Amino acid sequence: MASSAEADLRTRIQDWLPKIVLAPSFAVTLLFVYGFILFTVFLSFTGSKMLPNYTLVGWENYRKLWALENWHIAIVNIGIFASLYIVICTVLGLFLAIFLDQKIRGEGVLRPIYLYPMALSFIVTGTAWKWFLDPGIGLEHVMHLWGWESFSFTWIKDNNMAIYTIVIAAVWQTSGFVMAMFLAGLRGIDNEILKAAQIDGASSFQLYRRIVIPMLRPAFLSSFVILSHLAIKSYDLVIALTGGGPGRATEMPATFMYSYTFTRNQMGIGAASAVIMLMTIAAIMVPYLYAELKEKH
């Protein structure tokens, strides 16, 4: 009897083991992700200033947030930045991948050159471009030394143009990675399909437009998801490249949230801005993830 009870216990432990192994991760996710999200949502309805404070103030923080000039600048900037960044990276990545897929000699050398910026942190990228774009020692100065005296490139110091320098640096960093994703997609397409189309008299242009590009749909989707995810997190690059300046010209929601929460002692407003960032990301990610998960069942 004893041995069968023992065996029974052992089977039961074996049955429970998978759940026991997964449980800590799930508990940590529930607490550190969803618990924390709820707490931040709660804070956004409180009068927290420098420290958390649990008196409820209703929608007050959201009302204040949307009345702030800085927040409007941040919203406009993220709109400009995210759309340009996503579109340029996708177009550039797609074309580089298609060109690199034409039996190019030296592809093995070119690919890592396109890809390596992805290995760098946004802080390193920001540092490099900050000085390269600096009119005093960077590109403008070089052009003057080379004899093009009238050359002027002062975007990084210009309130209206500084946001585009962030686009340049971000595209530089990520477009090669997008290229690699499209290239992998292109390599996965069956050549027989392309040959058949060619025999039917399709031109190269038609071939790509009608057959190849539609078949790259998964790569488009993945790169869109990764790029929009990176865009809304854009904190590091702004800090390193422009510090949010000149003035507040390159303020983004990520920098706004940080400065209101930790340096301006407006934690309630900071929390409200974080909630809006999360909502924006959720609006993009949830349908995508839902479709991904549903497809597999």
Sites for another protein among residues 107-126 (CB under 8 A): 110, 112-125
Contact between 243 and another protein by CB under 8 A: the answer reads yes
Comparing CB distances to another protein, the nearer of 55 and 160 is 55
# residues near another protein by CB under 8 A: 109
Write out the binding residues for another protein, residues 157-176 only, by CB under 8 A. 172, 176
Q: Quick one: which of 77, 90, 261, 266 contacts another protein (CB under 8 A)?
A: 261
**Taking the complex as a whole, how short is the minimal distance between the CB of residue 216 and another protein, in angstroms?**
10
Is residue 283 part of the contact set for another protein (CB under 8 A)?
A: no
CB of 173 to another protein, least distance (A): 10
**235 counts as binding another protein under rule CB under 8 A:** yes
Instruction: Show the tokens assigned to 268.
Output: 């309630």
| Piece of the chain touching another protein by CB under 8 A; list 66-74, 79-87, 150-158, 267-275 | 267-275
Stretch of 65-73, 81-89, 153-161, 278-286 contacting another protein, by CB under 8 A: 278-286
Let me know how long the chain is.
297
Residue 155 carries which DSSP code? G
Q: Give yes or no for residue 102 binding another protein (CB under 8 A).
A: yes
145 contributes a contact to another protein by CB under 8 A = yes
- Binding positions for another protein, 68-97, rule CB under 8 A: 96
Nearer to another protein, 80 or 281 (CB): 281
- For residue 200, what are its two tokens? 């039917």
What part of residues 196-225 is at the interface with another protein (CB under 8 A)? 198, 204, 207-208, 218-219, 222, 225
Please report how close the Cβ of residue 190 comes to another protein at its closest, in angstroms.
10
Residue 57 interacting with another protein (CB under 8 A) = no
Nearer to another protein, 161 or 207 (CB): 207
SS (H, E, C) the chain: CHHHHHHHHHHHHHHHHHHHHHHHHHHHHHHHHHHHHHHHHHHCCECCCCCCCCCECCCHHHHHHHHCHHHHHHHHHHHHHHHHHHHHHHHHHHHHHHHHCCCCCCHHHHHHHHHHHHHCCHHHHHHHHHHHCCCCCCHHHHHHHCCCCCCCCCHHHCCCCHHHHHHHHHHHHHHHHHHHHHHHHHHCCCHHHHHHHHHCCCCHHHHHHHHHHHHCHHHHHHHHHHHHHHHHCCHHHHHHHCCCCCCCCCCCHHHHHHHHHHHCCCHHHHHHHHHHHHHHHHHHHHHHHHHHHHHCC
Q: Near another protein by CB under 8 A, which window of 64-72, 78-86, 154-162, 236-244? A: 236-244
Residue from 270, 264, 269, 277 nearest 234 by CA: 277
Q: How far is the CB of 83 from another protein (least distance, A)?
A: 18
